[in-house]
Amino acid sequence: MTNTTQHTEHTQKVYKPAPEYRNDARIKDYDLSYLNFQKDPEDFWRRIASDLLWFRPWDKVKDWEYPHARWFVNAKCNITYNCLERHLKNNRRNKVALFWRGEDGTEKIYTYDRLYKAVMQFANALQDLGVEKGDVVCIYMPTVPEQVIAMLACARIGAVHTVVFAGYGASSLNQRIVGSEAKVVITADASMRRGKSIPLKPIVEEALIHAPSVERVVVLRIQDPPTCLLDDFEVDFYQIMKKAEKNCPAEVMDAEDTLFILYTSGTTGAPKGIVHTCGGYMVGAYYTTKYVLNVKDDDVYWCTADPGWITGHTYAIYGPLLLGSTIFMTEHTPDYPDVGIWWQLIESYGINVFYTAPTAIRMFMRYGEDWPNEYDLSSLRILASVGEPLNPEAFEWFYKVIGKQRCPIIDTWWQTETGSHMITTLAGEEMKPGYAGKPIPGIMADVIDKDGNPVPPHQAGYLAITAPWPSMMRHVHNDEERYKSYWNTGKQPYYSTNDLAIKDEDGYIMILGRSDDLIIVSGHNIGTAEVESALISHHAVAEAAAIGKPDAVKGNLLKVFVILIEGKIVNEKLIHDLKYHVRQTLGPIAVPSEIEFVDSLPKTRSGKIMRRVLKAQEMGIDPGDISTLDE
């Protein structure tokens, strides 16, 4: 592995939070909390789980037979009982559960009581269609309140939801419907994006041509005049809801029953159906929303992730509802009708906790400080980041321009497979730009070599999770071998994250990128994230992506794709300056052989750069599964 000390020296700036933020944090002493967890991990999770309501308590906190775990063994629960009834019993009946804002300015407000009633009635409507406990329901909808209602209604009756992002095409949707053997599909006739109506129903119709498991399609009709429906196969969302009974008790679920399947693509092959269960996932979502994001009872909370992604599942819906929070959701993209819209919404709704992606932050950086400075962002208390490493330059901009040097930055590392946060800097702790932070209490993680041994500080290694945790995935749907591939079965077994990382002498971890994003140049291992971060630290660069191109002499040549800050002009001097900047930051071995200036980069719809698409394009080969590519 490459020693990355040179790269990390410029990121060692430390920000100490104001005393009031340390006092405001739910975990006020990280070291003590982590030590208490280490003394008795099962008791730690028992105490967290005891905050929630269970129909039957567990016989045992954890049953671990490597690589399979069962958590809260034989306990009975229902996540919607904890998202809804628990708050009605705690005098939150009339508290706002959900603010929703459409692109056209339409606003919808659901109190906890109204949401509870809507979920019960739609759950009954699904049962009237023949949906039973254990059946799979595919949800392919835009970001509207009905999407939340549909997810909770499935969980209410013990149906397994598989949510598919509404930007996917027919082929990707078909893969997920067929793979999960969905019985019912819930969709909308269209979604709104950048002022345009995007038809969804025709995509569903095409996806269902070879999907024999689907018996009915539920359509939320948004357009005027209403979309025509096929008799006896397609039904209207609100019409079936109106006809249904109003009361629907929560189904008693075993803690290890499947709650949902969420598909995530790999570098090759079909998408993987990640399986999460009712009990452990619920505990992980609740714990991290409360103790990592530090959401308080009177906060208005906005996670910008679409519910089609794991972040949307855990931190746009389930986590905050388990906490009894007020959620904000919107159709608005970050740059329509202009790049000030998100800041306008933060001002209008008094957002306190704002959770978004580095790709959005870097997009805003391209347009400078004038747009956010037009709005009053003083309501913000916590800023958080998710989806990929938050490079130091984006951290600095987010902290200074949006947080006005007062809001803690919570840079979270986790995966679809982990279900909830694993590594971060907790509110109140010292922040180091470029470093996500430390393993949160409840999680055992380390940076190791290929033999499973911890590596010295500032040396790159593999990020590994060394003990099970409640919200861990239980299976890859119908693919046991793929599940086992996540687990190292050597002398020191661990969960392999497939990420490269370094750890400093204080235990802070920096995520360098995927281990399959290593580029070997003349025998030296170079992480794409290192090169990209170095480029982004140049004043002219907004975003960058690095790939390796095969070379007969060096093994690989380094090529980078660069998006410039608005107004910057490409010339020979700029190219020279960028190469010199990388040389000064990382050393001569990391200087790119080629720089190509582009207007956009291929990304997943959750904002991660798809470097293999760039590499495939360069080499004229098949890029593999691109179902998550944002068109």
110-251 CATH choice from 1.10.150.20, 3.40.50.620, 3.40.50.2300, 3.40.50.980? 3.40.50.980
User: What pLDDT is attached to residue 116?
Assistant: 98
Token representation of residue 93: 């009946």
Quick check: 625 pLDDT over 90? no
Of the chain, the percentage scoring pLDDT greater than 90 comes to 70
Q: Residue 59 corresponds to which tokens in the numbers above?
A: 């016989």
Q: Minimal CA–CA distance to 331: which of 142, 612, 493?
A: 142
**250: pLDDT strictly greater than 50:** yes
The answer, yes or no, to whether residue 153 has pLDDT greater than 90, is yes
Query: Higher model confidence: residue 514 or residue 191?
Result: 191
Query: In whole angstroms, what separates CA 429 from the centre of its chain?
Result: 23
Neighbours of 317 (CB within 10 A): 23
Element (H, E) at 560: strand 555-564
User: How wide is the angle at C-alpha 571 spanned by C-alphas 569 and 574, nearest 5°?
Assistant: 85
Residue 3 tokens, joined: 């020693």
pLDDT band at 11 (very low <50, low <70, confident <90, very high): very low
From the number of C-beta atoms within 10 Å of its C-beta (0-12, 13-18, 19+), residue 558 rates as buried
**pLDDT bracket for residue 4 (50, 70, 90):** very low
What pLDDT score was predicted for residue 5? 35
Asked if the model's pLDDT at residue 502 lies above 80, the reply is yes
pLDDT, residue 620, reads 76
The pLDDT-based confidence of 3 (bands split at 50, 70, 90) is very low
For 210-234, the pLDDT digits (tens) are 999 999 999 999 988 889 999 889 9
pLDDT of residue 341: 96
Higher-confidence residue of 196 and 64: namely 64
Q: Which residues, other chains included, contact 480 with Cβ-Cβ below 8 Å and sequence gap of 6+?
A: none
Phi, psi of 85, rounded to the nearest 5 degrees? -55, -40
Give phi and psi for 318, each to the nearest 5. Answer: -65, -50
Distance CA 560, CA 548 (A): 9
Question: Residue 107: pLDDT band by 50, 70, 90 thresholds?
Answer: very high
> What pLDDT digit, counting tens, does each position of 298-341 carry?
999 999 999 999 999 999 999 999 999 999 999 999 989 999 99
* Beta bridge mates, 52: none
* Closest alpha carbon to 237 in 192, 202, 186, 197: 186
In tens, the pLDDT along 436-445 reads: 999 999 999 9
Cα distances (angstroms) measured from residue 346 to each of 9, 219, 329:
35, 31, 11
Q: Are 165 and 308 in contact (CB under 8 A)?
A: yes
Taking domain 522-619, whether its CATH number is 3.30.300.30 is answered by yes
The 10s digit of each residue's pLDDT in 393-414 is 889 999 999 999 999 999 999 9
Q: Assign a CATH topology to domain 5-78+276-512.
A: Rossmann fold (3.40.50)
Residue pair 328/302 in contact by the 8 Å Cβ criterion: yes
Confidence of residue 587 (pLDDT cuts 50, 70, 90): low
Q: Phi and psi for 62 in degrees, rounded to 5?
A: -145, 140
**Six-digit token string for 408:** 């803690």
Whether 5-78+276-512 shares its CATH topology with 110-251 is answered yes
- CA gap 251, 80 in Å, rounded: 9
As a residue count, the chain comes to 631
Distances (CA, A) of 239 to 147, 247, 624: 16, 17, 41
| pLDDT beyond 90 at 362 | no
Q: How much is the average pLDDT of 469-494? A: 90
Q: Which residue has the tokens 């800050």?
A: 565
- 509 with 491: CB under 8 angstroms? no
* 439, two tokens: 């393993």
* Residue 25 main-chain phi, psi, to 5 deg: -70, 145
**Per-residue pLDDT tens over the stretch 547-583:** 888 766 666 789 999 999 989 999 999 999 999 998 8
Largest CA distance in the chain: 72
| Residue 522 banded pLDDT, cuts 50, 70, 90 | low
- Do 433 and 392 form a contact (C-beta atoms < 8 A)? yes
pLDDT on residue 461 = 87
The confidence band for 10, taking pLDDT boundaries of 50, 70 and 90, is very low
User: Of 44-48, 95-99, 292-296, 523-527, which gets the smallest average pLDDT?
Assistant: 523-527
122 by DSSP, 3-state: which?
helix
The tokens for 184 are 């019912």
Q: Residue range 36-59: average pLDDT?
A: 98
User: What integer best gives the mean pLDDT of the chain?
Assistant: 90
Residue 18: the pLDDT is 81
Q: Where are the alpha helices (DSSP H) in 197-258?
A: 201-207, 237-243
CB atoms within 10 A of CB 173: 25
Rounded to a whole number of angstroms, the CA Rg of the chain reads 24
| Domain extent listing, the chain | 5-78+276-512, 110-251, 522-619
